[in-house]
Structure 1
Amino acid sequence: MSKIDTSRYRFTPDKDTLEDVDLDKADVRIDGKRYSEADAERDAEAARTRGLSRGGVSLSKDGSHSPTVTVTLPREVRDLVKERAKAEGVSVSKWLRRLIEDQVHAA
């Protein structure tokens, strides 16, 4: 996403609303490409879901934040976990989640 050049805009204290624009009728461009209503909807959805997860979907399957658990480990164990996760090409979080889920479902 390109950085907005704020020098092109000016603050007007007496104007407290923004104009609603029909992007399918108005010729609005970002980086030379026409910006449509569909583009705005896509960006709005991304903004609404931003921060729910880091690179993935909600594990809760309902779009809400997934619960987190904090675990304290000895440094040596943490280092071994990091090595195992790296060897499998996954994050520490994903590696531990798989391990825990396997144990929970095996019980």
Structure 2
Amino acid sequence: MTTKITLTIDNPEDPEVFEGEYVEIVDAAKQLPKLRRVESAKVWPKEDGTPAPAHRTLDLYFDGYAEASAAVAGPAGGEFFGRLVGTGVPFTGLFSDVE
């Protein structure tokens, strides 16, 4: 069964600076072993123009839980999460079985 890691990234203090760093984050994600697909999305603001509870989502797809776990536990995972943590923007990560 396909496993998806979803990262929900909070609103940065400076969105322009974050967006410049985000390109490198996605590039690092693409280096994860056995990664099958990357889906990146920018969250729309609320109808009144105020920020939504998140700025971006990043979905990483793998053949299964073992592959996803191994990918983020290895050197490429360290590089990827190091870049994400280095932005100072909080995020939440979820592992899910895609149905």
Q: TM-score, normalised by structure 2?
A: 0.22
**Greater strand content:** 2
Larger radius of gyration: 1
Higher RCO structure (Cα 8 Å, ≥6 apart): 2
**Greater helix content:** 1
Q: TM-score, normalised by structure 1?
A: 0.21
